[in-house]
Amino acid sequence: MSALPQGFLAQSLNRIQPSPTIAVTQKARDLKAAGRDVIGLGAGEPDFDTPDNIKEAAIAAIKRGETKYTAVEGIPELRSAIAAKFKRENGLDYKPSQCFVAPGGKAVVYNALLATLNPGDEVIVPAPYWVSYPDIVLLGGGKPVIVETKLEEGFRLTPEALEAAITPKTKWIIFNQPSNPTGACYTREQLKGLTDVLMKHPQVWVLTDDMYEHLVYGGFKFHTIAQVEPGLYERTLTMNGVSKAYAMTGWRIGYCAGAEPLIKAMAKLQSQSASNPASISQWASVEALNGPQDFIPKFQKLFEERRDLVVSMLNQATGIECPKPEGAFYVYPSIKKLIGKKTKAGKAITTDEEFASELLEAEGVAVVHGAAFGLSPFFRISYATSNAALEEACSRIQRFCAELR
C-alpha cells in the first residue's frame, strides 16, 4: 500500500510536525551510511557512556528477575530516590507519592499537558524553546503562546514580557533552564522577578524543565522555581531526568514531582498508554540518583572546555555572533549578518533553514536551524561530541561563512 485511505489518519496529527532535531540527526546518519563525510552536531545527547555502576545495577536487576510490570507511577525505590534527590539538591520536600516516573522527559510533558489541557487553554512557551513543547500543547488541544526572548538579554524571559503574555485563559507556563537550545540560565534574582509575576496570577501553573540542572559552568549556582518561591510549590511541576547528567538518553527515564492530584491524573493517562517505564531502566535510575555523583564534575569540566572551544571558533567565523551560555551543551549563534548573502553556487541564504541546508550540502556539517526552536535567524550546535570533531566542524563552518558573498 503506497498511501492510506483519505480521512484515515487523525486530524489532530495535522497540528504537529515531526521533531526537527530527530530529523536532522537521522539525515546525518543517512548521509554517513551513503558514504558522505558528515559531522553531526544535531543530537542532544552526551557522547560519554553511561557510568559502569549504573550499568551494573541494571545487570543485577535483570539477574534478580526485575523484569515484570511495575506500578504505573514507577517503582517505590525510584520514587523514594527522586524525593531524596529533590530534598538533597533543591531543598524541596516531596513525598514519594508526589513523584512520578515516565519513559523520558518528553513523556512527563506529554502526560502533564494532556491530563490538564482543555480547548482554548493557553500555555506560555518562551522562545527559543525545545522543539516538542508547542506541538505537545497543540496535540492536547491547547494554544501555545510564544514569547520571544532576545540575544541581547541572554535569551532570558523578562518579568515584563511574562506579565504581558498572561491572560485569564493561561493555564501553564513551560520554563526550561539551563535552556535547550540556548544554554541560558537564570540567577536566583532573575527567577524571583518571574515568580513575583506568577504569584499575582493564581490560575497559572508552572512546568519547570530542569533536565540540564547539573550541566552548568563557571561556578553558576542553579535554582529551581519552587525553591525560589515556596508560594508556588503547590502549582509547580518540577521535572528532571537521568538522560543528560548521567548519559542515559536511551534508557528513557524522566521524572517529576508536584501536587498529588496532578500526579494521579498523569498516572491515569499513562496507565492507558505506556503502562509503566521499563523496569530495568528504573532500577538503573535508582543507582544513578542514589549512587556516586563524582563523575558529574568531570563531565562538567569537559563540556565547559568544549563550550569555550566552540564559542571562540564560531566568533571567528565571518558574520556569526555566538554568545557564551552558562549551561547545557548547546550554543545558539546568530547569523543575522549572513542573511541575504549567496553561496559559491549562487544560492541565496534567506533563512536559517537554508543556511543549515547549504552548510550540510557544502561542508557536511549537520546543525539545527533556529526556526525549529521558534526564533530566527540562528542555529543550534550541540557540543556533546569530541574536541577533534568540534574543531573540524567549526573550521568547516568558518570556511563556509568566509565563502558567502
| 186-228: pLDDT as tens digits | 999 999 999 999 999 999 999 999 999 999 999 999 999 999 9
Task: Establish if 349 belongs to a structural domain.
Answer: yes
HSE at residue 273, side-chain half, CA atoms within 13 A, is 15
CA distance 1 to 48: 42
Are 198 and 276 in a shared domain?
yes
Are 36 and 75 in a shared domain?
no
Task: Establish if 57 belongs to a structural domain.
Answer: no
Task: Establish if 54 belongs to a structural domain.
Answer: no
pLDDT digit string, tens, across residues 284-297: 999 999 999 999 99
Percentage with pLDDT > 70 across the chain: 100
pLDDT digit string, tens, across residues 18-75: 888 788 888 888 888 889 899 999 988 899 999 999 999 999 999 999 999 999 999 9
Of 116, 103, 159, residue with least CA distance to 261: 116
Q: What pLDDT shows up at residue 21? A: 79
Domain closes at, from 271, 290, 309: 290
Are 266 and 167 in a shared domain?
yes
Locate cell 535508582: which residue?
Answer: 286
Q: How confident is the model at residue 12 (pLDDT cuts 50, 70, 90)?
A: confident
Polymer length of the chain: 405
Are 285 and 310 in a shared domain?
no
Are 300 and 392 in a shared domain?
yes
Are 285 and 301 in a shared domain?
no
Domain closes at, from 267, 290, 313: 290
What is the residue-averaged pLDDT of the chain? 96
Burial 21-30 (b: 16+ CB within 10 A, else e): beebbbbbee
Q: What global pTM score does this model have?
A: 0.96
- What is the number of domains present in the chain? 2
Are 259 and 170 in a shared domain?
yes
Are 220 and 153 in a shared domain?
yes
Are 339 and 263 in a shared domain?
no
Phi, psi of 153 (to 5 degrees): -105, 20
Task: Establish if 240 belongs to a structural domain.
Answer: yes
Phi, psi of 233 (to 5 degrees): -55, -45
Are 170 and 314 in a shared domain?
no
Tell whether the model's pLDDT for residue 377 goes beyond 90: yes
Amino acid occupying residue 330: Y
Task: Establish if 59 belongs to a structural domain.
Answer: no
Give the domain range for residue 34.
Answer: 11-49+295-402
